């Protein structure tokens, strides 16, 4: 029997990441093959789900991707699995539109035809939780397979909330989570610790926690479904080499992006700037986001910085996002001082106490370059705490934030190197990253 469901929540911080990780780990530990997914553009949670399942996790994003592509990514990820578990994003109705909730967990649930398990934060309330569940169910027009009550202070509190929810809604309460039990992970400005920073005992603790407090077998029976049909694309014989930076400093990538490179005839190889790896024979280099500021000293001493500078100077094709842009600058200002980077671009970056950008943007080219022609555009996503300093050159992008229309600039070009704070999904219908990869 195949089962599929989404763990969504009434708001951020309601415990959905811990619960999703725990359920996936429990199912995997008991012999199931689990297909993990994450709604939206988040990288960190996706890596935790990957660690918990031992299987590639895919992002389902209905803002950067068409609805048809979201369905294809979902079907591809489900291939060969006994269950599919999707972690929601933010509050269940939080997206880029207040009218149709585009980009929200509810939107992804509708696109994939998957029921939701709704996690509700019950701290400071009891019967009101029924109104929250009923309102979400009616406004989101979604299937709620069941409800998990979080931040329950006592058995009496659990009884009060359970009674109200099951009396005033059609939803069954599948579990109750004790107060303050979700804080199993440390945090940092971009979110919880990365999957590379935790050990197996944390994942097993999440599994024990989930199985002790949630009726997982009951959940599976409520969410049985037909496995989506997956169309297998014919394999492409590689005739080029793409090097992708991957280590503790650079680890924010969509698995779909790697697979897109393979579909375009690239043999994808991973290299570690922290380890001083080279990129011999590269036809394309991709340096994604991550935490370069945490490893700035090691990166400044790595021979890879000079290798990347020489590659860019030679006209090699190089694409960098966010943390990758920071590595291509002259250096990074951190609390511990200034550390030199590769110096491909004549600018510096500085870590800031406050977040500098967050949200989906339309990135329109304002000049012709390796990414395409002036006027072409892409939907992307920004999330960073660093800021660029000392750059006097032209920008390639005019950014327009999707939610409020705010304008800004992004995108640096040097020969065949392009770097920006904006993250792109390579399966998007927009042409920019495809122009660069296919040129």
d(CA 311, CA 307): 6
Strands 187-188 and 173-178: unpaired
d(CA 215, CA 1): 17
d(CA 422, CA 257): 15
d(CA 379, CA 429): 9
For the chain, what percentages of helix, strand and coil (3-state, to nearest 5) are there?
A: 30, 30, 40
Neighbours of 67 (CB within 10 A): 14
Query: CA–CA distance from 413 to each of 320, 328, 365 (Å)?
Result: 11, 11, 11
Set 322, 347, 369, 428: catalytic member: 322
Strands 58-60 and 116-121: unpaired
3-state secondary structure of 414: strand
Maximal C-alpha separation, the chain: 70
Integer-rounded Cα radius of gyration of the chain: 22
Neighbours of 1 (CB within 10 A): 10
Angle value at C-alpha 420, between 416 and 424, nearest 5 degrees: 95
322 is catalytic: yes
d(CA 307, CA 285): 12
Catalytic residue numbers?
322
């Amino acid at each position: 029997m195949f089962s599929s469901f989404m763990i969504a929540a009434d708001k951020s911080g309601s415990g959905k990441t811990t619960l999703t990780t725990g359920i996936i780990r429990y199912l995997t530990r008991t012999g199931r093959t689990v297909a993990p997914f994450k709604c939206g553009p988040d990288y960190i949670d996706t890596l935790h789900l990957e660690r918990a399942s031992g299987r590639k996790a895919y992002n389902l994003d209905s803002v950067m991707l068409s609805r048809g592509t979201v369905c294809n990514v979902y079907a591809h990820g489900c291939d060969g699995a006994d269950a599919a578990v999707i972690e929601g994003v933010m509050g269940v109705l939080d997206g880029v539109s207040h009218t149709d909730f585009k980009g929200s967990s509810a939107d992804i649930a509708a696109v994939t035809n998957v029921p939701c398990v709704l996690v509700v934060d019950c701290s400071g309330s009891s019967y009101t939780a029924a109104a929250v569940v009923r309102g979400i169910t009616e406004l989101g027009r979604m299937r709620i397979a069941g409800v998990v009550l979080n931040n329950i202070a006592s058995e009496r509190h659990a009884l009060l909330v359970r009674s109200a929810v099951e009396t005033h809604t059609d939803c069954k309460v599948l579990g109750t989570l004790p107060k303050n039990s979700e804080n199993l992970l440390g945090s940092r400005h971009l979110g919880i610790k990365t999957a590379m920073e935790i050990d197996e005992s944390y994942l097993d603790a999440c599994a024990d926690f989930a199985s002790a407090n949630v009726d997982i077998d009951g959940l599976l029976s409520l969410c049985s479904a037909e496995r989506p049909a997956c169309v297998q694309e014919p394999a492409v014989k590689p005739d080029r080499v793409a090097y992708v930076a991957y280590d503790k400093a650079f680890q924010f990538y969509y698995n779909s992006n790697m697979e897109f490179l393979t579909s375009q005839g690239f043999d994808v190889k991973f290299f570690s700037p922290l380890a001083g790896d080279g990129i011999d024979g590269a036809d394309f280099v991709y340096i994604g986001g991550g935490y370069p500021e945490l490893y700035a000293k090691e990166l400044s001493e790595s021979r890879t910085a000079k290798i990347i500078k020489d590659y860019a100077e030679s006209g090699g094709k190089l694409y960098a996002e966010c943390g990758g842009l920071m590595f291509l600058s002259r250096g990074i200002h951190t609390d511990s001082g200034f550390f030199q980077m590769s110096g491909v671009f004549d600018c510096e970056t500085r870590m800031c106490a406050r977040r500098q950008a967050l949200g989906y943007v339309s990135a329109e080219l304002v000049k012709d370059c390796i990414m395409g022609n002036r006027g072409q555009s892409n939907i992307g996503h920004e999330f960073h705490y660093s800021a660029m300093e000392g750059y006097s050159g032209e920008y390639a992008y005019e950014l327009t934030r999707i939610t409020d229309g705010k304008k800004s600039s992004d995108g640096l070009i040097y020969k065949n190197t392009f770097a920006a704070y904006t993250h792109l999904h390579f399966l998007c219908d927009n042409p920019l990253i495809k122009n660069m990869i296919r040129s």
